[in-house]
Amino acid sequence: MGEVEISYGQELIEVISKLHGMKRRSKGFGELSQMEGMILFYLDHNLSEENTLGIKVSLITKDLDIPKPTTSKVLNSLEEKGYILRKIDRSDRRVTYISVTEEGYAYIKKIRDIRDQYVIDLMSKLGEHDAKELIRIIDKLYLIVTGEQV
């Protein structure tokens, strides 16, 4: 590997570190912690109208690769805030289903609207050419990292 590649690699690491630092300072999910927001948006994305019971706690833990105690703590907090409901399976009391309340959906919409406006503002500042180029490069990087493209 040449000096140029190492230099680019160092620049990339610095930029990624800056972006990571922005995430820590941002209020991406408003009053919610990153983990609360992640679970609430996971529920929104994975619940369907046919699924009236909700999503099993065990599936949330598995899909998001979160330890069970962390999942329980975060779900307790979301429940206290009124954003989710727990339903215990009558046929197997060990199974708990989670669904989103109307208040939870309203909060998701609020955060999604803020995020969408932020992205619109960001893309307009980049300009059409740079925005398309950024999307193309990030998509290519994803394919390389996941091994889908060499």
Q: Which helix (H) or strand (E) holds 88?
A: strand 84-88
37-79 pLDDT, tens per residue?
999 999 999 988 777 789 999 999 999 999 999 999 999 999 9
Q: Which helix (H) or strand (E) holds 57?
A: helix 57-64
By CB neighbour count within 10 A (0-12 exposed, 13-18 middle, 19+ buried), where does 20 fall?
A: exposed
Q: Does the pLDDT value for residue 97 go beyond 70?
A: yes
Domain 31-100 CATH (choose: 1.10.10.10, 3.30.565.10, 3.30.420.40, 3.40.50.620):
1.10.10.10
pLDDT tier at 150, thresholds 50, 70, 90: low
- Other CB atoms within a 10 A radius of the CB of residue 70 amount to 13
pTM of the prediction? 0.75
Bridge partners of 87, per DSSP, are 97
Domains of the chain: which residue ranges? Answer: 1-29, 31-100, 106-150
H helical segments located in 101-146: 102-126, 128-145
Q: Distance between CA atoms of 78 and 44, rounded to whole angstroms?
A: 13
